[in-house]
Amino acid sequence: RPLSMKRRKADMSHFRTTSALISNCARHFGNAKEGSTAVSAAVAIPVVAAFIAGGISYSSGLATRSNMQNAIDAAVLAGATELQGGNPIAMANRSFAGIIGATARSGASDIQARFRVEDSVVYGEASGVAHIAMGGLVGLGSFDLGVRSAATLETINVCVLGLNSFDKDRKSTRLNSSH
């Protein structure tokens, strides 16, 4: 019997030692700062990456809007050239379709252009939807694009007087070289 009591005491001392060890580890774990950088980085990196991806997608949408504006400007100018006897709306539609191409369509969907002629002015409007990758996480998965333009054909009488001083110098050079 005395032997079993010793064994129980030894088992209890081991328990106390283990309990103290766990308590000591827990206390040090709460005060430890070595791993906090890794935990902070693990939380921050995905958030920062999502904002960067969203920013890139948003700027791509703005570039698409700029391409749409250039295309609608060129289309109404092309349509204006047809105001005297041609079909300005058909010319504007062909021009817009040719210019907008795959570049703007890759950054947006549902791109549509409408043209009309009023009082010798060709008006054009284009619209589309730009999609933002990762934008759904912050509630902005897409945004509407819209551009407008107008053009008319004007004729202006111009008189141009040009002087070319180079010809004068050429004659004097020839004279000097012949002597």
Q: How far apart are CA 95 and CA 43, in angstroms?
A: 49
Q: 1 falls in which pLDDT band (50, 70, 90)?
A: very low
pLDDT at residue number 103 = 63
Confidence of residue 135 (pLDDT cuts 50, 70, 90): low
* CA torsion, ordered 25, 30, 34, 38, to nearest 10 deg: 120
SS3 helix, strand, coil % of the chain, rounded to 5? 65, 20, 20
Q: Residue 178: what pLDDT?
A: 47
Predicted local distance difference test score (pLDDT) of residue 179 = 46
> Which of residues 7 and 95 earns the better pLDDT score?
95
pLDDT, tens digit, 9 for 90 and up, residues 24-79: 666 666 666 666 777 777 888 888 887 787 777 778 888 888 889 999 999 999 99
